[in-house]
Every structure is written in structure tokens, then in C-alpha cells.
Amino acid sequence: MVDYSIGEIESLILKACRGAGMSWGLAEEGARSAAYLSMLGFPAMDVFARLLARLADVEHATVKPVVFENHCSTQGDFLCPVYAGAWLLDSIDLIASPEQTFDFNKVAEPLIFSSFVLRGAISQNLSISITTGDSHARCDDGRLKDAFDLIDLEVVDNLRVTANSKSEMQWNPEHQRGTCTDESLASLLGFAHHTYVPATEASRLAGAGAGLTDND
């Protein structure tokens, strides 16, 4: 297991998401949600490593949300939780009324998506339930509760978000560090490497190395 600070986790997920093909803005949203999950004790880096590996095999256009009324689906085999979560944050007013529901189909890595729901709940001071199969998580008291069942769920057929009632949702982080497996770290570093600019002769001559002279 590898131990990282929250800042290091956020920085790595930012680069990995960008290296996996997301825009910088969307990668920032993913990184922010990874930080939220890590501060609540969830294995954010492990679930993001799984997600990015899944995204590597598809066109991103096929995993974006397709919305009709109170239902969100996708054209492909799964709905990316970062694309869907960013849409939810932009459209949080759609579920800001008590008892309002919204259904999301074929959601990959529902734990990641739930972190976006939590961020929306905090912004609206709203208690929100997240239901999929036998799992019933809640965004309440500034935390994501009863969500550990979501860790091992890779794709769920249906996830329902339900607004409950207005509630004080002050953000209350519990952890300052997070861990991940060596395998997940290697995968994330591989995606992050795609953001690095390859060295060229011009860059080396401009200062990235000793160039053609040796001042020693």
C-alpha cells in the first residue's frame, strides 16, 4: 500500500484524468471529488484507477450523459461518473426540491458519482439519498454515509438520487491522507505520464540539462 497526502492525491488524479483524455476542467472536477472521497476515508485512488482503465477502451463521447426529463442515460456501455457528476453539479437545481428524484443508468464506479452528489448536497444544504440495488447511501451532516457498499460496485444498472429535506451540510473531513495499492498507483502514474511533454533537442539546449557545454 502507498500513502499519500490529500494534496498529492488531488494532483495525481488531476494529471491521470487529463492523461486519460478528459479536458483540464473535467479533470479538475474529478480530482476534487477524489480529494473529498479520500478525506472521508474511501479508497479514491483505487476506484479512479479502475475507472480510467475502463475509459481507455472507449470513445469519451459514448460515455457522456444523455438527459431526458428526470432520467440520465448514455449511448455506450456505461456512464462515466465524472462526466455525469459534473453535469449534476451544473444542474443541481433539478433535484433541489424535497422528494425530487433523478435516475441514472449504467453508472460506472458509483462511489465516484456519489462524491459529486455529496458536493451538490453541501452546496444546497440538502440531505440526499443515493440508492442502487441493495445499497442505500446518504449525503447527510456534510458526510457520505453508508456508502462503503459502493466501493466494489464497478457498474450499476440504475442509481436513483432523491432529495430529502433541507439540512445543515457543513463539510466535515475526517482524514488528511489516503492509500492505494501499488497496482493502482502504477496505473495512475501511467495515465499521468501522458501529460508530460517529451524532451526535445531544443528544450535541452534551452536549459533542460547541460546542453553542449559543461561549466564544471
Tell me the pLDDT tens digit for each residue of 131-171: 999 899 999 888 999 999 999 999 999 999 999 887 777 88
Specify the pLDDT at position 116. 97
Return the pLDDT at 199. Answer: 53
Question: Greater confidence, 196 or 15?
Answer: 15
Burial-class residue 94 by CB neighbours within 10 Å (0-12, 13-18, 19+). middle
The whole-number pLDDT of residue 216 equals 44
81 — pLDDT class (breaks 50, 70, 90): very high
The yes-or-no verdict on residue 128 having pLDDT over 90 is yes
| Mean pLDDT, rounded, for 196-206 | 56
Q: What is the pLDDT of residues 91-120, one digit of tens each?
A: 988 887 778 899 999 999 999 999 999 999
Mean pLDDT, residues 10-21: 97
The whole-number pLDDT of residue 201 equals 54
Of the given ranges (5-14, 68-77, 189-198), which has the lowest mean pLDDT?
A: 189-198
Cα-Cα-Cα-Cα torsion 95, 42, 176, 196, nearest 10 degrees, comes to -90
pLDDT confidence of residue 112: 98
Residue 8 CA to residue 13 CA, distance in Å, equals 9
Say what percent of the chain tops pLDDT 90: 73
CA-to-CA separations, 5 to 8, 38, 164, 197, in angstroms, rounded: 5, 9, 34, 26
| pLDDT at site 210 | 44
Q: By mean pLDDT, which of 59-73, 111-125, 170-184, 192-206 is the weakest? A: 192-206
**Of residues 186, 108, 113, 184, the one with CA closest to residue 147:** 113
